[in-house]
């Protein structure tokens, strides 16, 4: 009976593996049915970017990529201590009047996001991280689903920029899983997603203004708390 005891020892591992494969299959099947919306719809789009101690070269590349997308404006909410990024922003602002700089001394990303969407002039607002580089067609693609008035937020597929080494490549593989399987499956099955990643998330400005107080004054059972910004907005 030695062979039986050995099989029993590996049974939990086998059940765990089976569960993981079934979990993947439950997502993969509906994800295969997902199709991005192609409506040709376009609305004015403002880009809001909190900036704090970003690598200046990455920030410059990211800022240039947003402007190439023909957005209405790029609002940079920059921490007053970040002199390097201020210099980059001011240099590009002199060449492109769509760039707007707001300096802030208030710590934290939430207030920077709030300041940005309050200052925005467009009906759609893209909340973007300062190290996120867009493909040339991102603005056009993210506007298309808003042809449906029932849609309040739209996310994007994302990848690690020039992944190097084991961990960056593993993270890139995880993002592929998330945006080829998990998010499409949630969209097909529930017409919603659990979280729009803050690297690039586009919302109707009217909704952001409506929920500003709830976003800034978060609490749980009456006690002030601070959960993840992305899930809170979603």
pLDDT, tens digit (0-9, with 9 covering 90-100), for 60-82:
999 999 999 999 999 999 999 99
* 6 vs 91 pLDDT, higher one: 91
Q: With cut-offs at 50, 70 and 90, classify the pLDDT of residue 179.
A: confident
Q: What confidence score (pLDDT) does residue 91 get?
A: 97
Averaged pLDDT, 96-105: 97
Separation CA 139–CA 111 (nearest Å): 24
Q: With cut-offs at 50, 70 and 90, classify the pLDDT of residue 223.
A: low
Q: With cut-offs at 50, 70 and 90, classify the pLDDT of residue 105.
A: very high
How many CA atoms lie within 13 Å of 90's alpha carbon, on the beta-carbon side?
Answer: 8
Q: Which domains does the chain have, with CATH numbers?
A: 45-156+197-233 (3.90.550.10), 158-193 (no CATH)
* β-sheet bridge partners, residue 78: 51, 103
Angstrom CA distances, 7 to 1, 11, 20, 35, 60, stand at: 10, 6, 20, 43, 57
Q: What percent of the chain has pLDDT over 90?
A: 55
Q: With cut-offs at 50, 70 and 90, classify the pLDDT of residue 34.
A: confident
- Strand 99-104 and strand 73-79: pairing? parallel
- Average pLDDT over the chain, rounded to whole? 87
Q: What confidence score (pLDDT) does residue 5 get?
A: 60
For residue 180, the 8-state DSSP code is: I
Q: With cut-offs at 50, 70 and 90, classify the pLDDT of residue 31.
A: low
Q: With cut-offs at 50, 70 and 90, classify the pLDDT of residue 33.
A: confident
Q: What confidence score (pLDDT) does residue 153 get?
A: 94
Element (H, E) at 42: none
Separation CA 50–CA 216 (nearest Å): 15
Q: What confidence score (pLDDT) does residue 131 get?
A: 96
Q: Which of 139, 133, 166, 180 is nearest to 31 (CA)?
A: 180
pLDDT at 3 over 60: no
Residue 20 structure tokens:
């993981």
């Amino acid at each position: 009976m030695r062979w039986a005891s050995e099989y029993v020892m590996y049974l939990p591992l086998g059940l765990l593996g089976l569960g993981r494969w079934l979990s993947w299959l439950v997502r993969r099947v509906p994800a295969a049915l997902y199709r991005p919306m192609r409506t040709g719809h376009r609305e004015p789009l403002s880009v809001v970017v909190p900036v704090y101690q970003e690598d200046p070269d990455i920030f410059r590349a990211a800022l240039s990529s947003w402007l190439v997308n023909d957005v209405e404006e790029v609002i940079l909410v920059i921490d007053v201590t970040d002199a390097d990024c201020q210099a980059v922003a001011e240099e590009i602002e002199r060449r492109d009047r769509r760039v707007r700089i707001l300096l802030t001394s208030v710590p934290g990303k939430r207030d920077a996001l709030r300041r940005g969407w309050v200052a925005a002039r467009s009906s759609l607002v893209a909340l973007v991280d300062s190290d996120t580089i867009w493909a040339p067609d991102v603005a056009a693609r993210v506007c298309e689903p808003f042809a449906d008035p029932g849609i309040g937020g739209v996310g994007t597929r994302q990848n690690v920029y020039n992944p190097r080494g084991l961990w960056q490549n593993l993270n890139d593989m995880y993002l592929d899983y998330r945006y080829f399987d998990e998010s499409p499956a949630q969209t097909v099955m529930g017409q919603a997603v659990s979280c729009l990643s803050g690297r690039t998330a586009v919302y109707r400005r009217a909704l952001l203004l409506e929920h500003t107080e709830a976003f800034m004054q978060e609490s749980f059972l009456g006690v002030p708390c601070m959960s993840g910004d992305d899930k809170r907005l979603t």
